[in-house]
């Protein structure tokens, strides 16, 4: 949908009209008056008016101009936007009466756009908050690379409204604005089932918000699956949950260590808010999504399902023409997906996975993954111990595994495991004429996960004789 140019005519909602809505009980509205109000506010009314106002407006059936008809779907909460840059903030109006025609808490859908200024139709306090959010995220690489402006969402024509005259306290919009800006800079659309609210103090970190009960009520009404709140309000949320038995909404918290750190406070919120890109998306976009994840199992599964197939083809094409091994020797590590990746790249008939007891779980993950994706491969796990006996144990396992096998049919994976393990394989175990493989990669500083990328791997022939002196 096209954005509304800044010079285009807009409908203006002034503070005086907002004040009148606050003081008008919805029960006092005749159906005709309710219909006029709904028609006047249009798409904005869907966000800020109580559902009861729409029910009363629907009661007016006679003497209507066909153009004044209200779509039946307007009885239900509107859909949140899902485009890149979309976000939504929860705003509580403490001056609104309990039975006012105006919602005491409403959602305002917004959108971050690159290479623009903030819209002049934004509430001024919200535009000022957006500037502070941009400043706080100055160390996010893709945020600082571009200029960012905050706008009312174009979905349904909401951006045709001028809300700049509205006074509002929007400090609690900090967390959703910051999380959305990070995702916008990544080019990742938001997941509409994940909500958040939280203020930020540079000296103290995530701060509590007002009207939490109302915000939880609204999130429930919109069908949110999860809402992130300040950690210090966990007890308040638990009291709300206990008063709503059977409610299916997860309460998650925004928290950080003793030192206020915006990145750590938002990590889980950003990860959960990211909409999963499919395998047809660019590798760069899928990599960004992968690196944002904090749930290691979810991250690994995404790697295997949506990244590994393409990476495996790339690395297979990077192998020398003569390198077509039938036997793979590798080590289980904290990144078992690397074992599955290489097995998919070379499609070996047999695979030896060496492991220490502390990595037994990772070995099992790698073994299951290889067996599932390379079904013709015979996977053999073998344990070894760290310390002086390590080289001898690894050597014996490899000799048994490669008995009567030509060295040129064996590839030793030096990527996983500690350096000492890789050195043992390369210098004391791999026979002359076998292949040594190392996947050049970096690791994510937060999760220690291997960063998926296409870099030419190291592939060389081993130069040591098969039998080495003890």
> Which tens digit of pLDDT belongs to each residue from 305-344?
999 999 999 999 999 999 999 999 999 998 899 999 999 9
- Sign for the CA dihedral angle at 215, 217, 219, 225 comes to positive
Per-residue pLDDT at 470: 40
Which pLDDT belongs to residue 271?
Answer: 97
Question: Residue 68: is its pLDDT beyond 60?
Answer: no
CB atoms within 10 A of CB 188: 23
Cβ of 305: how many Cβ atoms within 10 Å?
A: 11
The residues near 454 (Cβ < 8 Å, ≥ 6 apart) are 283, 311, 314
Torsion of CA 362, 282, 275, 197, to 10 degrees: 100
* pLDDT at residue 67, rounded to an integer: 47
Helical packing angle, 337-346 and 308-318, nearest 10°:
50
Average pLDDT over every residue of 384-393: 94
pLDDT of 6: 56
Q: What is the structure's pLDDT at 349?
A: 97
Tell how strand 148-152 and strand 105-114 pair up: antiparallel
DSSP state of 335: -
pLDDT on residue 60: 67
Residue-range domain boundaries for the chain: 11-75, 86-273, 314-461
pLDDT of the residue at 455: 78
Q: How confident is the model at residue 193, as a pLDDT?
A: 96
Question: Has domain 314-461 been given CATH number 1.10.3720.10?
Answer: no
Pairing of strands 410-413, 378-383: unpaired
What are 395's two structure tokens?
């050597």
Identical fold for domains 86-273 and 314-461, yes or no, is no
Model confidence at 3, in pLDDT bands (50, 70, 90)?
Answer: low
> What is the pTM (predicted TM-score) of this model?
0.88
Residue 8 banded pLDDT, cuts 50, 70, 90: low
**What average pLDDT score do residues 122-149 get?**
93
- State residue 248's pLDDT score: 87
- What region does 387 belong to: left with phi over 0, alpha with psi -120 to 50, or beta? left
Four-point Cα dihedral 68, 73, 77, 78, nearest 10 = -80
- Residue-wise pLDDT tens digits, 182-237: 999 999 999 999 999 999 998 889 999 999 999 999 999 999 999 999 999 999 99
According to the model, what pLDDT value does residue 262 have? 86
Chain segment 259-302, per-residue pLDDT in tens: 788 888 999 999 999 999 988 999 999 999 999 999 988 999 99
Tens of pLDDT, residue by residue over 412-460, are: 999 998 999 999 999 999 999 999 999 887 777 666 677 777 778 999 9
Decide which of 70 and 321 is more confident: 321
Percent of the chain with pLDDT strictly greater than 90 = 70
Rounded Cα distance between 114 and 127, Å, is 15
Question: Topology of 86-273 in CATH?
Answer: Ribosomal Protein S5; domain 2 (3.30.230)
Judge whether 348 and 318 are in contact, CB under 8 Å: no
């Amino acid at each position: 949908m096209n954005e509304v140019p800044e010079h285009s005519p807009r409908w203006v909602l002034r503070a005086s009209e907002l004040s009148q809505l606050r003081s008008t009980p919805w029960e006092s509205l005749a159906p005709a008056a309710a219909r006029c109000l709904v028609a006047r506010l249009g798409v904005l009314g869907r966000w800020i008016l109580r559902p009861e106002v729409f029910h009363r407006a629907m009661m007016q059936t006679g003497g209507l101009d066909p153009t004044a008809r209200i779509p039946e779907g307007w009885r239900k909460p509107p859909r949140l936007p899902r485009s890149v840059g979309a976000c939504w903030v929860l705003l509580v109006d403490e001056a609104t009466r309990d039975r006012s025609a105006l919602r005491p808490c409403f959602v305002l859908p917004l959108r971050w756009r690159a290479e623009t200024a903030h819209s002049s139709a934004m509430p001024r306090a919200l535009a000022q908050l957006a500037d502070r959010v941009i400043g706080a995220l100055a160390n996010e690489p893709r945020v600082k690379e571009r200029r960012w402006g905050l706008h009312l969402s174009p979905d349904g024509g909401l951006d045709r409204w001028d809300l700049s005259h509205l006074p509002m306290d929007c400090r609690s919009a900090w967390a959703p604005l910051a999380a959305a800006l990070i995702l916008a800079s990544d080019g990742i659309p938001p997941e509409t089932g994940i909500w958040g609210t939280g203020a930020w103090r540079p000296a103290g970190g995530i701060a509590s918000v007002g009207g939490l009960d109302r915000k939880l009520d609204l999130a429930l009404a919109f069908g949110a699956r999860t809402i992130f709140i300040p950690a210090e309000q966990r007890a308040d949320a638990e009291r709300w949950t206990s008063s709503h038995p059977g409610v299916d909404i997860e309460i998650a918290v925004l928290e950080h260590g003793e030192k206020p750190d915006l990145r750590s406070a938002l990590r889980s919120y950003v990860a959960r808010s990211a909409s999963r890109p499919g395998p047809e998306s660019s590798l760069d976009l899928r990599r960004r999504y992968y690196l944002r994840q904090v749930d290691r199992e979810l991250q690994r599964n995404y790697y295997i399902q949506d990244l590994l197939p393409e990476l495996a083809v790339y690395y297979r094409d990077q192998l020398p023409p003569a390198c077509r091994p039938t036997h793979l020797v590798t080590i289980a590590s904290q990144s078992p997906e690397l074992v599955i990746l290489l097995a998919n790249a070379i499609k070996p008939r047999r695979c030896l996975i060496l492991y220490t007891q502390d990595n037994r779980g990772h070995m099992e993950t790698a073994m299951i993954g290889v067996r599932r994706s390379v079904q013709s491969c015979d996977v053999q796990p073998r344990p070894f111990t760290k310390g002086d006996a390590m080289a001898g144990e690894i050597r014996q396992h490899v000799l048994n595994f490669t008995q009567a096998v030509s060295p040129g049919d064996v590839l030793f994976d030096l990527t996983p495991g500690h350096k000492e393990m890789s050195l043992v394989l390369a210098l004391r175990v791999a026979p002359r004429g076998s292949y040594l493989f190392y996947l050049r990669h970096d690791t994510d500083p937060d999760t220690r996960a291997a960063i998926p990328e296409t870099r030419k791997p190291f592939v060389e022939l081993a130069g040591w004789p098969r039998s080495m002196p003890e």
